[in-house]
Amino acid sequence: MLDLFGDPSPGSPRLLAEGAWLLPGFATGPGRALLTAIGTVAGHTPFRQMETPGGGRMSVAMTSCGHLGWLTDRSGYRYGVVDPVTGQPWPTMPLILAELAARAAGAAGYPGFQPDSCLINRYAPGTRMGLHQDRDEADMAHPIVSVSLGLPAIFLFGGRTRTGPVQRVPLHHGDIVVWGGPSRRFYHGVAPVAAGEHPLAGPFRYNLTFRRAG
C-alpha cells in the first residue's frame, strides 16, 4: 500500500548522535489518542504565537501542559507555572502523555524520566524553527523526549556550535526522538513544513517536547 506518512509499525531504534535515539513509529499506535489529548489541553489553554525577545513573532503556535510551561516574550525565554493567556496554571499533563514519555526515555536508556513540562508545538505549512539550543532547563542532565505527530518534517540536527554540518532527519507521524547525554546541548531546528493533509491531524504537524524543566 502507498503510505505517504511513513511506516506505521515501530522500527528499530537508530542512534542519531551520542546519546540521541530515534524510535521510529514508537507513538504510532496511540497517535489518535495523543491527538485527542492535545485537543483537550488546547481547549483549556489555547495555541498562541508568542513574541520573541527581539520583538518578532514565532511562526510556530505553542501551548503547554504539566507543572511548567515554556514562555517567550519581550523579557526573554523561561518556564513559568502560570499561563499568561488564561492567568491560570497550565493544565495537568494527561497520563497518556506522561506515560508515553517515560516509556520512550526508558527504551532509549534513560530510566525514571518524570517530565514536569510538555511543550506542544503546532506547525502550519510553511512554518519552521530556526537552529537553537535548549538551555532554559534547570538540570541539563535529564533527557528530552520529542514526539512527532501529523504532517512529516525534516529535522535539522547540528552539533555543539551553530556553524558546522547539519544532519537532515525526516520525522513522521509517530516517531519519537530521545535526546540525552552530549546531544542534549546540540543545535537543532525544523525545516519549513510542506503543505499536506494528514488523515488524523489535518493540515498540521504537532511536536510534543517533554522535559524536566524545574
Calculate the CA 20 to chain-centre distance. 14
Per CB under 5 A, residues contacting Fe ion are: 134
Output 2 or 107, the one with its CB closest to ligand MD3.
Answer: 107
Q: Write down the least CB distance from residue 79 to ligand MD3, Å.
A: 12
Note whether 190 binds ligand MD3 by CB under 6 A. yes
Question: Mask: binding to ligand MD3, 158-187, rule CB under 6 A, as x and -?
Answer: -------------------x-x---xx-x-
Note whether 129 binds ligand MD3 by CB under 6 A. yes
By the 8 A CB rule, do 21 and 169 touch?
Answer: no
Output 98 or 208, the one with its CB closest to ligand MD3.
Answer: 208
Question: Mask: binding to ligand MD3, 106-125, rule CB under 6 A, as x and -?
Answer: -------------x-x----
Q: Write down the least CB distance from residue 109 to Fe ion, Å.
A: 21
SS3 label, residue 89? strand
Q: Write down the least CB distance from residue 106 to Fe ion, Å.
A: 22
DSSP 191-205: PPPPP--BTTTBT-E
The 10 Å CB-count burial string (b at 16+, else e) for 146-170 is: bbbbbbbbbbbbbbeeeeeebeebe
Output 94 or 180, the one with its CB closest to ligand MD3.
Answer: 180
Q: Letter for the amino acid at 152?
A: P
Question: Mask: binding to ligand MD3, 83-102, rule CB under 6 A, as x and -?
Answer: --------------------
Pairing of strands 144-150, 153-157: unpaired
Name which position in 83, 134, 137, 175 contacts ligand MD3 (CB under 6 A). 134
Q: How many residues does the chain have?
A: 214
Output 45 or 207, the one with its CB closest to Fe ion.
Answer: 207
Range list of β-strands (E), the chain: 14-17, 20-23, 61-65, 69-73, 76-80, 117-123, 129-132, 144-150, 153-157, 167-171, 176-179, 188-190, 205-211
Q: Write down the least CB distance from residue 75 to Fe ion, Å.
A: 20
| Assigned C-alpha cell, 165 | 554540518
Note whether 65 binds ligand MD3 by CB under 6 A. no
Using CB under 6 A as the criterion, which residues of the chain lie in contact with ligand MD3 when the complex forms? Answer: 119, 121, 129, 134, 144, 146, 177, 179, 183-184, 186, 188, 190, 207, 209
